[in-house]
Amino acid sequence: MKANPKDVLTGVHYIDGDVASGYGALAAGCRFIAGYPITPSTEAAETYGRIAPPAGAMFLQMEDELASIAAVIGASWAGVKAMTITSGPGYSLMMETVGYGAALETPFVLLDVQRTGPSTGVPTKTGQADMMQSRWGAHGDYEVIAIAPDSPQELFDYTIKAFNLAEKYRCPVMIMADECVGHMTEKVVIPPASEIELEPRRFYQGSPDQYLPFRPDLDLVPKMAKAGDGFRLFITGSIHDEKGRPVKNDEYKAIYTKRLVDKIRLNKDKIIELKEENTDHAEVIVVSYGISSRVSIKGIEQARSKGIRVGSLRLVTVWPFPDEKVSELAKKTKAFVVPEINYGQIAFEVARCSHGRANVVLVPHGGAGVHRPEDIAEAIEYAAREEKKIEQVIEYKTRLEKLVFQSRK
């Protein structure tokens, strides 16, 4: 189905990423956002709060993040597309309920505009250290989809895609933005509503007494119902059978858990989006996401000017992780360079999938800024030069670190 014209602010805008995400949410048909202010994500909530009421949608600032995510899941079960917006500390608060939403296969979108952590960190500066948390944040087994946009335009486009994926797979979809892409102001082109494709919720159409809320379709995703239609649903966080009744034995648990993770794992090729360039004969491949992928463009340019054949793999979708692609590339290249604004998260995934065939060089960054392109270029040079096969992730010593730690000698 197409977007509703009254939800779409068609035109050429010059806006920041947060605002673009707010516009994207409305365009995607989101009718409810509950959030709590937290730098650097607040503008997304404020934007939506401004554009939603005239379009018949609603924004409510809740008393805390816990209430926000709970209200979003409640609204989803009342039948509306819903989203919440937060950053690191709020993301941590929401985790229990994210798991609840995943267990109940509730479609919802969560925008995490990552900031420097840990703890309060530097609220106004960027970070990419919530990436592992987006997959493993809540206790127990479940799978989510996580997307790392690299620009305000992508924040608009991928907020819409996030809603589509959430409806298709009935799972939480994390938009793992960061303060840089959230606060950078760039051109965002919003097309007419007729060019925006939306995934509608797949409601069960049969009779209420035959409805099995958790009986999956062939793609492992069950059809959904909503409160108020006479289904007398029973929705519980306790492990449940197809009817939604809590069960305790391990046979049911196997069936249930396996489907919950399989519906993402087995549908990976339909979910994963990557941007691959010049990887065919590359000596070194830079694997990056989010703001680091933009800084990498400069770093790669500098390395190429030294004659090194550098390819790039940008992870638009970070979870599910593109195991097969990385494994395949590891056979063809000498080394991967993974710049990320953390001390190693996705780098470990790259290493896991390389199976020792290619070295993995992590270019870390503590946050409160982005990489210097020179650091990425120099790491690429080192990766191209290093002949030894090193199985552990190699932590490249950036100029910043050399500066800081040398001067202390």
Partner 1 sequence: MDNTQVDNIQAKPAKADDAHPMDNLLRMDRMPHIWCTGCGIGIAVTAFVAALEKAKIDLNKVSIVSGIGCTGRVAGYVKLDSFHTTHGRPIAFATGIKLGNPDIKTVVFSGDGDLIAIGGNHFIHAARRNIDMLVVCVTNFIYAMTGGQVAPTTPLGAYATTCPYGCVEQPFNIPYLADSSGAVYVARWTVLDVRRLTNSFVEALNKRGFSVVEVISPCAQYYSRINRLGDGLDMMNFYHDHCEIRHGEDTKNLDIGFQSKIIVGKFVDRERPTYTESYNKWLARVDEGTKDS
Using rule CB under 8 A, residue 227 touches partner 1: yes
Whole-number minimum distance, CB 101 to partner 1, in Å? Answer: 10
Whole-number minimum distance, CB 75 to partner 1, in Å? Answer: 3
Pick one of 9, 37, 58, 277: the residue that binds partner 1 (CB under 8 A): 58
Using rule CB under 8 A, residue 163 touches partner 1: no
Contact characters 237-266, partner 1, x per CB under 8 A: xx------xxxxx-----------------
- Would you say 52 and 83 are in contact if contact means Cβ atoms under 8 Å apart? no
Q: Which residues, 6 or more positions from 181, have their beta carbon under 8 angstroms from its beta carbon?
A: 17, 149, 150, 151, 152, 154, 155, 290, 291
Respond yes or no on whether the N-terminal peptide bond of residue 40 is cis (omega within 30° of 0). yes
Pick one of 64, 219, 262, 301: the residue that binds partner 1 (CB under 8 A): 64
Name the strand (E) or helix (H) holding 405. helix 399-406
Task: Using the minimum distance from each CB to partner 1, give the nearer residue, 33 or 326.
Answer: 33
Task: Using the minimum distance from each CB to partner 1, give the nearer residue, 30 or 363.
Answer: 30
Using rule CB under 8 A, residue 139 touches partner 1: no
Number of residues written out for the chain: 409
**Residue 255's CB: how many other CB atoms inside 10 A?**
14
Using rule CB under 8 A, residue 334 touches partner 1: no
Task: Using the minimum distance from each CB to partner 1, give the nearer residue, 60 or 297.
Answer: 60
Task: Using the minimum distance from each CB to partner 1, give the nearer residue, 211 or 321.
Answer: 211
Q: Name the residue among 386, 372, 387 with its Cα closest to residue 302.
A: 372
Binders in 73-132 for partner 1, by CB under 8 A? 73-80, 82, 96-97, 100
CA-to-CA dists, residue 53 to 7, 82, 94, 272, 322, angstroms? 11, 15, 25, 34, 39
Pick one of 3, 20, 45, 72: the residue that binds partner 1 (CB under 8 A): 72
Using rule CB under 8 A, residue 229 touches partner 1: yes
Which segments within 248-295 are labelled E, that is strand? 274-277, 284-288
Using rule CB under 8 A, residue 231 touches partner 1: yes
How, if at all, do strands 274-277 and 310-315 pair? antiparallel
Residue type, 338: V
Q: Which residues, 6 or more positions from 77, have their beta carbon under 8 angstroms from its beta carbon?
A: 104, 106, 226, 227, 233, 235
Binders in 203-222 for partner 1, by CB under 8 A? none
CA-to-CA dists, residue 259 to 50, 245, 287, angstroms? 39, 17, 30
> Measured at the alpha carbon of residue 213, what is the angle toward residues 210 and 215, in degrees to the nearest 5?
85
Task: Using the minimum distance from each CB to partner 1, give the nearer residue, 99 or 322.
Answer: 99
Pick one of 122, 193, 233, 400: the residue that binds partner 1 (CB under 8 A): 233
Task: Using the minimum distance from each CB to partner 1, give the nearer residue, 170 or 334.
Answer: 170
Whole-number minimum distance, CB 256 to partner 1, in Å? Answer: 14
Residue type, 299: G
Pick one of 8, 129, 173, 235: the residue that binds partner 1 (CB under 8 A): 235
Pick one of 120, 194, 236, 392: the residue that binds partner 1 (CB under 8 A): 236
Judged by the rule CB under 8 A, the positions of this chain that interact with partner 1 are: 31-32, 34, 53-54, 58, 60, 62-64, 66-68, 70-80, 82, 96-97, 100, 226-238, 245-249
